[in-house]
Copies of this chain bind each other. A is one copy, B any other.
Amino acid sequence: MPESARRIVLASRPVGEPKPSDFRLEEFPVPQPGQGQLLLKTKWLSLDPYMRGRMSDAPSYAKPVGIGEVMEGGTVCEVVASNNDSYKPGDIVLAHTGWQTHALSNGAGLRKLDPKLAPVSTGLGVLGMPGMTAYSGLLEIGEPKAGETVVVSAASGAVGSVVGQIARIKGARAVGVAGGPDKCKYVKEELGFDECVDHRVGDFPERLKTACPKGIDVYFENVSGPVWDGVFPLLNTFARIPVCGLIAQYSATEAPDMKYRTSQIFRAVLTKRLTIRGFIVTDFAAKFPDFIRDMPQWIKEGRIKYREDIAEGLENAPQAFMGLLKGKNFGKQLVRVAE
């Protein structure tokens, strides 16, 4: 009797925050690999804020997931059957097969992972897309110098945690912004940031100012919203603002009010000679060899630490994803799809 596979498809485009009925769990027969193909079985699924964008059909840098199509996502898979000489059963690969237990592949775009080098789940986090996002955006746009102050929002998350730790490696002062005392404690005490400021407490702008006595030279933007409002008045001349994410906006049904208006932003851009630049990780693909040289070394030396937040079972992916958008995760959000 053939094994059954499962997948989660986009049932409807969310208006505002995604809700359970926007997702649908389906069963389907485990597919059979054709000539040159592999059958992949998902071990780990990565959940990332960008997926909220794919659920919407607003114009963006990537095309949306269609209604009824499987949700997009990065995965770590085991090769369970292979008609492709480059892969054999038992190989562990980084893939992008989405929210499902099984998928076919012709091998394109896969990257083999060595389980002896690091836990394979890190291929979706600190040694994968989020780590590379932090590395390239901070170093290529932020260009932190020794003695400067780097502020990063979502500081306990997969990207933010790496941004602050690299800032420290480069000799800068790292100040995190995170939601709640537990995350702030973790960012400061475990990750070694100089300070971490809780944006959920009322006098956030004042406390951020105290944490940045010399102003802000680099602000790595992951969230937008009220955190930006606190950061903006503290920006120094020649500050750089890599714009990586706007999680506070993703589920907004209309663009949220922000304190500083467009004309005020432009005035500061001119008088302080700010650089505001958006990016996505693939823009800096040329930096990947540097990343793959530096990051494992830094992890080995204990200079980069990471934390994973693991949901158990594919069926729990929607709930974990909805939590991620509200900042309920603590560390890189993963789903353990199979042992």
User: Which A residues lie at the B interface, using CB under 8 A?
Assistant: 53, 59-61, 221, 224, 228, 237, 243-246, 249, 252, 255-258, 260-280, 283
Contact = CB atoms under 8 A, between A and B. Distances in A.
Given A246-B267, A273-B279, 6 more contacts: A61-B273, A228-B266, A249-B267, A255-B263, A269-B277, A274-B278
A307 to B, nearest CB: 25
A244 B33 CA distance: 58
A270 B278 contact: yes
How many copies of the chain does the oligomer comprise? Answer: 2
Given A255-B261, A255-B264, A280 B275 contact: no
A260 B262 contact: yes
A278 B283 contact: no
29 contacts: A60-B271, A61-B271, A221-B266, A228-B266, A243-B269, A244-B270, A246-B263, A246-B267, A246-B270, A255-B263, A255-B267, A257-B261, A257-B263, A258-B262, A258-B263, A261-B261, A262-B265, A265-B265, A269-B277, A270-B278, A271-B278, A272-B278, A273-B279, A273-B283, A274-B276, A275-B275, A275-B276, A275-B277, A276-B277
A55 to B, nearest CB: 15
Point out which of A246, A252, A266, A280 has the most chain B C-beta atoms below 10 A from its C-beta.
A266
B266 A224 contact: yes
A201 to B, nearest CB: 23
Contacts of A60: 271
Contact of A243 (B252, B255, B270, B283): B270
Contacts of A258: 261-263
